[in-house]
Structure 1
Amino acid sequence: MTVKVLDAICGSGKTSYAIQHINESPDKLFIYVTPFLSEVKRIKNESIQEFYEPEIKYGKGKKSNHIKVLVEEAANIVMTHELFARLDPETLMNIKLEGYTLIMDEVANVLNTVGDITKDDIRSLRDSDILRIEPTGEITWLDILYDGVFNHLKVLAMKKNLFIHNGVIIFWTMPVINFSSFEEVYILTYLFDGQIQKYYYDMHEIKYQKYSVVKAKEKYKLTQYSKSLEPREYIGSLLGIYEDYQNGKSISKLNTNYLVKSNKPDKALSKAWFHKANTSQIDQLRKNLLTFFTTQALTKVDDLFWTTFKSLAPEIKNKKCKINKKDDRSKDNFIPFNTRATNAYADKTAMAFVLNRFMNPNEKQFFSSRGIEVDEDLLATSDLIQFLFRGCIRNNKPMDCYIPSSRMRTLLKKWINYEI
């Protein structure tokens, strides 16, 4: 199996190609996976073939039970990423027998940290011959009759997808069978080479081929991947990227006034920087956000969206930039920085990206220790471009941007100039 990665910029027609492919393949069975319920409805509405959405009314009232029934009935299914990650071995075996094609809108969450366990816990379980640590770091569960506080680890380890790193950090990885059970696999995303799923594929030696999507005579088709097909310069012309100096003149200091001499500008606004920042720096960032949306890009609360690390957002929110404690996005204008595959903010005319994106060091070491090279700059660029495309530039309209991290602005400019 070779995964087909549709690595194309937002708005290029990836989803339209997928729906076209479905409509032109009445003899195939499809499982379509998407992050949002709104996209579930789109697939059901625009596909000629009938798609079924799992419901909580089968077996023990779990959607996963309905998926099992739908696969046995050889039905086309549309589901969320969350449900896809929970497919059990029996369902996956039936998927393989039926010859399904997988279309995944945006990359999956293929790597997670498993908490609530200490180094001493691991040592005790190992010394008691309850588990074994393989040379690869994989955890093999030996005591199948074990019934205790670490049952959640047992369940994951029995699926052969639990790894230990640095003697204490436990990573869950999505079982490879979630992909290998399909006859064909399509991944719809952008800048795939910077994303964790790419490194996961490399680790498991899953082959993939990247394609661009082009439109000719009202029909979408795949072609050999080339970034030259992307209208990056045009997109750059739509972005009003704030700079402290414009036309040689000082405008303001919103990109630098929160720094101190000891700071390394390229590391500023990383998660580690935020944890070390003093109160005056955080206060200045809060003021900067408000200043940008009231003087540099005069914007109403309903016309902007912003982000930073979610745990730190309450510290820099203000009367323009809001975040709801209960994660009700209808009551604020905050969006998680890794939001993808939604058009819900396409009317917003200004944005702020107040963070400097680096890969989690433990995740980076997890892959690098296995000989997998990680491109943190491409990862950061991918998240920034995806975030920008939540706003009105996806509709070819100008958008004001506040990106105070010098590293993130530099990466954006390199992307615009096809240097990334």
Structure 2
Amino acid sequence: MNNIIHVLDSIPGTRKTSGAIEYINENPSKPILYICEYKSEIDRVCNLTHCVQPKSAYDENIERYHSKKDDIKQLILSGRSIASSHALFVNFDAEIFTAIEKIGYELILDEVLDPIIKVTSRYNSADYKTLEDSGHIKAAESGKIHWSWDVEKESAYDELREFCETGLLYKAGDLNQFLYLVPIDLFNKASKVTVMTYRFEGSYLYQYLLVNGFQFVPETNIRSLNSAELKKHIKEHIIICHHKGTDKLRTISKGRHKTNGYTFSYNCYLKNIINGKVSNREEFKKFVSSRLNLVFRHIINNYDNALSVSSVMYTLPKEFSGISLVEKEHKGKVFRKRIYNVDRKKTIPAPRISSIKCFVPFNCRGTNEYSDKAILIHCYNHFANPAIKSFYRKYKDLEIDEESLALNTLIQWIFRSRIRNFKKGEKVYVYCLSERMESILKKWIDSL
């Protein structure tokens, strides 16, 4: 069992993925499992190396759908080098773990994943209280939830019972909420594990591995670019912008930065859009939408008039963006398509600046899709998930570094833009609606 994590920790854009591709090609006889977040990156790795990716298909011989999970099991058993996604990786089972350990796979994780997932799609705190009061579930001292209800199958709690049976369902500390933890065997069965990211110690994954007894050492075999020149480029090319009409509304209350009385945290959006009066809801939505429009025009007019509306990307909590991904099938292939205005009551109206493609989720990482964007408007004051904070505090005696977590997501978001190209003269213009997020960003840039 391996408890050492090799970490390649360097600034986004320092060609970590390219270094991993070189490493894979230099070791053709070594079985490697390369895990990343996006299909485009999987395709890239497979096109430039001998890695293959799992596929799904209908097997006419057994009249059964052959899933990607089925396929990756067969590929691993045959010792092939594989490139696959975070989503498939976290669903590996004991059979796959055994094969990984037996064959001696090396794991390369391109960007961190979230190891603790809040189970909210179907089950909430009311469900927890009902099940606990009825004696159907009980949380151990470690927080692990045990199921003791011999309920018939096809009940409303089938999925929850299945989570319990994996031994990976936990209580969220002092909160009556469910958390699902990814299997720790994802990280201790491979002969070597390498994580490629930036500011690893500020991630949820670092905390998860730390409390599970892992040790961390620098990765030396996979090479990335020297960051000294890149840091200088960042200081010269990330411009923190100001808009007088918005800036003057900023105040500080109870130690937290606010703008016009709003903190722009998730709870702020929730309070004003979901739980607030209709008049307050519309006022808040109009305020955020108007800031987006005012700021982007201000940046073009006062910072760089060579830019256009197609240069903009913005973010806020996805739940209130009105944007959702749906799957569409065409000629036997399944495509993911963005749609807008899923729920108009919850939606911050899209700025009159571009297509919905200009919305980039605040936690987006590991993609080059937005590398043409130069005007970056950030409208989310990011804090740690309260359920995850409570879990670590109660069961692991560990406090999450809120500022480090917020900075990590902010840096990764900014580096989706053209700053990642490191091209002289190509500046990016960043406006943070939250004064706290602006302060965190400025502190980081000054420290480079």
TM range (shorter): 0.7 to 0.9
Please identify, of 22-31 and 140-149, the stretch whose mean Cα deviation from structure 2 is larger. Answer: 140-149
Decide whether aligned partners of structure 1 residues 376 and 128 sit closer, same or farther in structure 2, where only a CA change above 3 A counts: closer
Q: CA deviation at 1:322?
A: 5.0
Summarize the Cα distance change of 1:417–1:117 in structure 2 as closer, same or farther, 3 Å threshold: same
Could you tell me whether the CA contact under 8 Å between 2:35 and 2:89 is conserved in 1? yes
Paired amino acid for 1:253: G
For 1:307-326, list aligned pairs within 5 A: 307-313=315-321, 314-320=347-353, 322-323=355-356
Aligned equivalents of 1:233 and 1:66: distance in 2?
46
Residue 277 of structure 2 aligns with which residue?
none
Match of 2:332? none
* Cα 1:66–1:401 shift into 2, 3 Å: same
Q: Paired residue for 1:203? A: 211
Partner Cα distance (1:234, 1:6) in 2: 21
Greater displacement, 24-33 / 202-211: 202-211
Which TM-score applies when normalising by structure 1?
Answer: 0.85
Matched with 2:197 is 189
Alignment of 1:133-144 (within 5 A): 133-142=139-148
Q: Cα 1:266–1:322, aligned 2, differ >3 Å: closer, same or farther?
A: farther
5+ residue gaps, structure 2: 273-279, 302-306, 322-346
1:231 corresponding residue in structure 2: 230
Q: Please tell me whether the aligned partners of residues 3 and 186 of structure 1 are also in contact (alpha carbons under 8 angstroms).
A: yes
Deviation of 1:261 after TM superposition, in Å, equals 8.1
Of residues 290, 295, 299 in structure 2, which corresponds to 1:296? 299
The TM-score, its normalising length taken from structure 2, stands at 0.80
For 2:330, the equivalent position in structure 1 comes to none
Task: Report the aligned-residue RMSD.
Answer: 2.7
Match status 1:99 vs 2:128: no
Q: Distance in 2 between matches of 1:230 and 1:185?
A: 29
User: What residue is the counterpart of 1:157 in the other structure?
Assistant: 164
Would the aligned equivalents of 2:45 and 2:51 in 1 still touch at CA under 8 Å? no
- Between the aligned partners of 1:105 and 1:266, the Cα distance in structure 2 is 34
Q: Could you list the runs of 5+ residues in structure 1 that have no partner in the other structure?
A: 214-219, 245-251, 324-331
2:27 is the alignment partner of 1:25: yes
Match of 2:267 in 1: 272
Q: Aligned pair in 2 of structure 1 residues 336, 119: CA closer, same or farther (>3 Å)?
A: closer
Name the counterpart of 2:94: 89
Shift of 1:297: 2.2
| Residues 7, 219 of structure 2: 8 Å contact kept | yes
Q: Which stretch has the larger CA shift, 63-72 or 233-242?
A: 233-242
Out of 393-402 and 169-178, give the one that drifted further: 393-402
SS of 1:351 mapped into structure 2: strand
Query: Which of 352, 363, 371 is the equivalent residue of 2:377?
Result: 352
Cα distance, 1:272–1:341 mapped onto 2, change above 3 Å = same
Deviation at 1:50, TM superposition (A): 4.0
Q: 1:146 to 1:195 in 2, by over 3 A?
A: farther
Q: Which sits farther off after the overlay, 360-369 or 276-285?
A: 276-285
Distance 1:120 1:127 in 2: 11
* 1:253 matched to 2:259: no
**Matched residue type, 1:160:** G
* Cα distance in structure 2, aligned partners of 1:336 and 1:280: 23
Q: Say which of 330, 338, 362 aligns to 1:337.
A: 362
Question: Which of residues 32, 41, 44 is equivalent to 1:42?
Answer: 44
Q: 1:15 to 1:119 in 2, by over 3 A?
A: closer
SS of the residue 1:32 aligns to: strand
